[in-house]
Chains A and B, each alone.
Chain A
Amino acid sequence: MDALFLSRLQFGLNISFHYLFPPLSIGLGLMLVIMEGAYLCTKNPVYERITHFWVKIFALIFAMGVGTGLVQIFGFGTNWAAFSRFVGDVFGSILGAEGIFAFFLESGFLGLLLFGWHRVGPKTHFFSTVMVALGAHFSALWIVIANSWMQTPAGHAIVGEGAARHAVIENFWQVLNNPSSVNRLCHVILAAWLTGAFLVLSVSAYYLLKKRHLDFATRCFKIAMVVAVIGVLLQGVSGDSTGREVARNQPIKLAAFEGVYETTTPTGMYVGGYVNAKEKKVYGLPLPGLLSFLVYHNFREPVAGLDQFPPELWPNVKIVFQTYHGMIFMWGLMFLGVIFGLVAWSRKKIMDSKWTLRFLVIAVLFPEIANQLGWDSAEMGRQPWAVHGLLLTKEGVSPNIQPGQVIFSLVLFSLIYLLIFIMFIYLLDRKIKQGPDVGEAEEYQHQAYNVSTLNERP
């Protein structure tokens, strides 16, 4: 195994593990704004309990996001020095903007959100919640722009030769508003909302199943259901629009997503299937003409197949076909969850719909899996390029690192991630099982512990 492959593996591991948490912070951030807003409007103490409970969960998730996010700012320099030299001019300024406009906002006001309950009035506290949520959305904005520039670079010029060849900014607005930015940003934000909403849905469904905290759970259920319905529907629109954007700007990627080896009229789409890369064939359930219809809104025009492009520029069709279809499948499951949930809501007692609730408890996994698979498709679909059309991934790796070094870091990263992930799940599970009312009991434990230690004082 060479340093290139290992570095790719490590980058994938780092970013995938990190990306379990930011969508949750973004989505839950929005949920917190709604919950605390409901408390401010109605003054109903149950919304205060709801906010307190979810803020604790949010803090845990946010800490994981920060811890795993710090890794990323180093990742480009340590393993991808040549990439960093090439894109630094363009990419660095976007990351700098992320730090200045987003991280300070969310981290600064997070302190107020977690520690400021008794320091400020309810309105100022609500303001800090809004700022944290806004900061989380801003961080998505900048990082998706940076990544979109790698997918569809614009507003730059290439200067220098050989090792000094690099991209410089020509028009910063075009860099920001590159052809895929807006579509992909909407797609990512909606996915994050779904992730947050389905977490709240899952926990409320769990309480309703166990017949615990019924008032609390019913209200959480309804808030989350509203966000989930809006999210699922808009995500359908966004997915369609993003697909057409990929067809325009990265046709080779779309062809790989759908396993279109040969250009045919009209082009079909697979519900699912198996790709045989050697025979260049897909075995699966086809829907004739659908891809043509989705891309061009008619059944006549063919979608460009892989045969139009040199094979050395093909991504790994076998993998991206599956990740892309997996993502859509997950959206389908979320759609089902939302339908079942609405049916349950329309009945008098939500908690009688046992199978719907059971489905919703596990539904928290669907958006998370969709997030992972979606990014796998986006990034692996861009291969062999690191920056589409400008820099190959293999040209981006650090020249001086040895495979042994990367194996060392890769193994340790894996172990540490495994360790803190187990602890995270344990704490999350504990907090959920304790429920919203145990705050006082826990406080009692705190005090009992302190008293016992105070007595030891000489």
Chain B
Amino acid sequence: MSALEYGFMIFWYIIIIASVICYAMLDGFDLGVGALHLFASKDEERRIFLNAIGPVWDGNEVWFVILIGGLFAGFPLAYATLLSAFYIPLTCLIFALIFRAVAIEFRSKTPMRWWRNLWDILFFLASVAIALAVGMALGNLIQGIPLDQNHDYAGHFVLTFFRPYALLVGILTLSLFCMHGTIYLVMKTEGDLQNRIIAWVRPAMVFFIMTYAITTVCTLIYQGHMVNHIRERPFLLLIALGNMFIIADIPREIHKKRYGTAFLCSCLNIALLLVLFAIGTFPDVIRSSIQPETNSISLVAASASLKTLKVLTVIVAIGLPFVFGYGFFIYRLFRGKVKLDKMSY
């Protein structure tokens, strides 16, 4: 592989990691709001929750399509191997995605109580399931999945996905999104409801910090390969350190009523965690748990051809400025507190 090709490949890998970060930062808060949905007991409060995420969740979810599509385009071998290996778990994830996509629309169309309760529960379950599944997929990528010497999947069709470490990363992701969603809701609500949600911040943070600590310890003990790069280049430790400070800053910002800043800190926290993930797994795109030195699928092995990478780069160079442009425009329009009116959901 030539230096030019390698450069384009790294660029595309960065784009995919950036999509994962955008997805987690954006869809993360609306999944979090979904996971908190049942904690709001009254219909009006639930409607405020839904209207807080209503205008943006659809666009947020596109990042998921982008990252899967980006994998398909840039690293076809990784896409094909990963998706066919986790056939059953991903099928269940798809079911959750279907229910979540229609839940807000279906729920609001009629005011009957049983109907709304049904969709509230489905919305909650789907949000939790998606957060868990996304985290577990990352957990599996950290730990590695059983691949034989032909890079073909050699694991169990269900149980491999649910290994304890992956489950732990799943729970970490759920706790992260819950915290993120709570902070988002603090930002979008006012009055009595806001005060009650502010009280949720502390338990949400405790939940997150506990799972984070446990996951870190387990990673150091069982997934030592994740820290190889950091061991070789100690300055990378600054990322983890900076992350600690950012997490510690969140309660301070909430206390000082700077909710926007608190939300930004939470976004940055998610981004840095994923940067640590990317550093740890590099240069593999799918690590093999059997003989990782030979059986893993490296970025180089999975990469698309130079021509494709160039085409993709042009597409991204034209498209992304627009995506960020109107994304920014729409988020700016819907900034401020949620108010229910005639056309609300």
B340 CB → nearest A CB, Å: 8
- Interface residues contributed by chain B, number (CB under 8 Å): 74
B-binding residues in A (CB < 8 A):
52, 59-60, 62-64, 66-68, 70-71, 73-74, 76-79, 81-82, 84-85, 87-93, 95-101, 103-105, 107-112, 114-120, 131, 159, 163, 166, 168-170, 172, 398-402, 405, 408-409, 412, 416, 420, 423-424, 427, 430-431, 439-440, 442-443, 445-446, 449-450, 453-454, 456-457
Pick the residue among B43, B64, B312 that contacts A96 (CB under 8 A).
Answer: B312
Interface hits, B152-174 → A, CB 8 Å: 152-153, 157
Is B102 interfacial (CB 8 A cutoff)?
Answer: yes
Given known contacts A109-B330, A449-B111, A454-B44, A115 and B84 CB-to-CB distance under 8 angstroms: no
A159 CB → nearest B CB, Å: 8
Question: Lowest 8 CB-CB distances: which A-B pairs, in order?
Answer: A88-B76, A77-B83, A92-B73, A111-B55, A67-B101, A100-B319, A63-B105, A81-B80
Chain B residues with CB under 8 Å of A449's CB are 43, 111, 113
A59 to B79, CA, bound (A): 31
Chain B residues with CB under 8 Å of A398's CB are 80, 84, 87
A224 CB → nearest B CB, Å: 23
Instruction: Contact check, A85 vs B80: say whether CB atoms are below 8 A apart.
Output: yes
Instruction: Contact check, A70 vs B94: say whether CB atoms are below 8 A apart.
Output: yes
Interface hits, B66-115 → A, CB 8 Å: 66, 68-70, 72-74, 76-77, 79-85, 87-88, 90-91, 94-95, 97-102, 104-106, 109-111, 113
A414 to B194, CA, bound (A): 42
Chain B residues with CB under 8 Å of A163's CB are 150
Q: Which of B305, B323, B341 has the most CB of A within 10 A?
A: B305
Is B220 interfacial (CB 8 A cutoff)?
Answer: no
Instruction: Contact check, A92 vs B305: say whether CB atoms are below 8 A apart.
Output: no
Chain A residues with CB under 8 Å of B323's CB are 100, 104, 108
Pick the residue among B84, B104, B305, B345 that contacts A78 (CB under 8 A).
Answer: B84
Instruction: Contact check, A77 vs B102: say whether CB atoms are below 8 A apart.
Output: no
Chain B residues with CB under 8 Å of A95's CB are 69, 72-73
What number of residue pairs across chains A and B have CB atoms under 8 A from each other? 254
A158 CB → nearest B CB, Å: 12
Which of chain A's residues has its CB closest to B327's CB?
A108
Which of chain A's residues has its CB closest to B76's CB?
A88
Instruction: Contact check, B91 vs A96: say whether CB atoms are below 8 A apart.
Output: no
Sample of 28 A–B contacts (CB below 8 Å): A60-B106, A63-B104, A63-B105, A68-B98, A70-B94, A74-B91, A74-B94, A76-B72, A77-B68, A81-B80, A81-B83, A82-B80, A88-B79, A91-B72, A96-B312, A108-B59, A111-B59, A115-B51, A116-B55, A131-B326, A168-B305, A168-B308, A398-B84, A399-B152, A405-B88, A409-B88, A416-B98, A430-B110
Is B58 interfacial (CB 8 A cutoff)?
Answer: yes
Which of chain B's residues has its CB closest to A103's CB?
B62
Given known contacts A107-B59, A412-B91, A439-B342, A100 and B320 CB-to-CB distance under 8 angstroms: yes
B234 CB → nearest A CB, Å: 37
Chain A residues with CB under 8 Å of B58's CB are 66, 107-108, 110-111
Which of chain B's residues has its CB closest to A124's CB?
B333
Given known contacts A92-B76, A95-B69, A101-B319, A109 and B326 CB-to-CB distance under 8 angstroms: yes
Chain A residues with CB under 8 Å of B320's CB are 100
